[in-house]
Amino acid sequence: MELPRSNDNGVSTAGSERDNNLADRINNSRNLIRKLERKAFSGAYTLSIFIVLSIGATHNFSFLPSFSPAIRKSMGMAPPAGFVSILLIVYVFSAVILSLSRMMEGSDKIGGITHIGYLGAFFFFYHFSGDMDAHFWAVFAGGATIISLESYQRWNFCRDEILKEREALGKLEKNL
């Protein structure tokens, strides 16, 4: 408990400091709620980036410059589509399991942008092997599943935190 202090005029300041501290806590709580509300929908941005990447893949990445024959020769042969498909299956199942486990533990961590990179790599491998048409929907369905789970996990975590923070804010406002 804080003892009242008097300033030079002999006026007690303990009550006003307490009110200022309480007002600061209320302000911080409101700011945290706004931050969590913005963070809750960040998965929509990741999903949008993935859809744009997928549209580029359907057009064989025509918006990117193509490699010269010398560079393609130095890169070597593209991996066989069957091998890439096996890696895609392993990646999708492990990402889904990881996302579900984070959801169960209530973690805030997600791998949104990282997943975009991996899925983009699968699109590029299929593009270079010449089998994009046959495997596009596999990458798209796997990616949509992973990113949707990650987005839901982030939204669910933020929703729970917002509810807790609003409850705490209600208690703070009653004390004001």
Q: pLDDT per residue over 24-64, tens digit each? A: 888 888 899 999 998 888 888 999 999 999 999 998 887 77
pLDDT exceeds cutoff 50 at 2: no
Residue 112 is predicted with a pLDDT of: 76
Segment 163-171 mean pLDDT: 90
pLDDT exceeds cutoff 90 at 174: no
Question: Tokens in use for 118?
Answer: 């991996």
pTM beyond 0.95: no
Residue 72 is predicted with a pLDDT of: 76
pLDDT exceeds cutoff 90 at 70: no
Mean pLDDT score of the chain, rounded to an integer? 85
Please list, residue by residue across 95-106, b when 16 or more beta carbons sit within 10 angstroms of its beta carbon and e when fewer do.
beebbeebbeee
Residue 54: which of 125, 155, 144 has the closest Cα?
Answer: 144
